[in-house]
Amino acid sequence: MDEVVQRGRGADLPPVTLYGLLRLRVDVFVVEQHCAYPELDGRDLDPTTVHFWTGPDEAPQACLRLLTEPTGDRRIGRVCTTAAARGRGVAARLIGAALDEIGDAACVLDAQAHLTRLYGGFGFAPNGPGYEWDGVLHVPMRRAGRAPFVSRFESGRGHGT
């Protein structure tokens, strides 16, 4: 199933969409994974936060958010999928859309340990020791920014004879 990836800035989302995204995250992280933590961390409505999701606005099948860190790095986080939509490549489509959005910028994330291969396929590599968060092993990962290609002709070199 090739579901359309939707995107929107937090403050611009209709309430039914934002509610659907937050409910999905709570259903997966807090209820299913038994992680009692403050899911509503104040960053969803930040003007630089971009949400990506598939499925109907009131009941998304998968979602993630893209943040801008104080360092300027972009951060992918809160990647989750309903049990019914897992194994269909939906999360990979969302990650691809987020990376298309940021282009060549550096990007970080904290992967649940069992998902490091998924993120590795997008160029992310571990960049620190693993840690446990609410009983779930996580691995910090980073995808280095890529400098845009400049041909030798554009750089002023290479205008030879």
**Domains plus CATH for the chain?**
6-105 (3.40.630.30)
Element housing 119 (H / E)? helix 116-120
Q: For residue 47, what are the CA distances in angstroms to 8, 26, 138? A: 11, 22, 27
On average, the pLDDT of the chain sits at: 87
Confidence band for 32, pLDDT divided at 50, 70 and 90: confident
pLDDT at 130 over 80: yes
Rounded Cα distance between 146 and 143, Å, is: 9
Rounded Cα distance between 153 and 160, Å, is: 9
Q: What is the mean pLDDT of residues 92-116?
A: 94
Residue 50: strand, helix, or coil = strand
Residue 30: strand, helix, or coil = helix
Q: What is the pLDDT of residue 147?
A: 54
Is the whole model's pTM more than 0.75, yes or no? yes
